[in-house]
Amino acid sequence: MEYVTSKKFDKNFSKLSKKIKAQAINQFEKFIVDPTEESLNNHKLHGRWSKYRSINITGNIRAIYIKDGDIARFIDIGSHSELYS
């Protein structure tokens, strides 16, 4: 699956540590090959995020996206509390 990122995603990605960025890149590589790969924990969100999905980058860092045909549009990345508070 192909993906693109938003300006907000890019801004928040740039604030991540080198270690987290490397983990994110690894997860995105898995996502491209198989979005349902178990380690991604790809799941639908609820409430105000009900149109979106999330994948795990680390135990606490998530990336939020919306599916647009064959393209995943990643809109934000951050810790669970930063994204869902």
In total, how many domains does the chain have?
1
- Inter-CA distances, 24 with 13, 18, 37, 48, 77, Å: 9, 10, 14, 24, 9
Query: Of 56, 28, 27, 26, which Cα lies nearest the Cα of 42?
Result: 56
* 41 φ/ψ angles, rounded to the nearest 5 degrees: 50, 50
| Interval 7-21: pLDDT, tens | 999 999 999 999 999
- Mean pLDDT value across residues 21-25: 97
Residue 40's pLDDT is 97
Q: Which domain holds residue 8?
A: 2-84
Look up the CATH number of the domain holding residue 13.
3.30.2310.20
| Interval 35-68: pLDDT, tens | 999 999 999 999 999 999 999 999 899 999 999 9
pLDDT > 90? residue 84: no
Do the beta carbons of residue 74 and residue 9 sit within 8 Å?
yes
The SS3 of residue 17 is: coil
Beta bridge partners of 54: 43, 64
Residue 51's pLDDT is 96
Categorize the per-residue pLDDT at 85 as very low, low, confident or very high, splitting at 50, 70 and 90.
confident
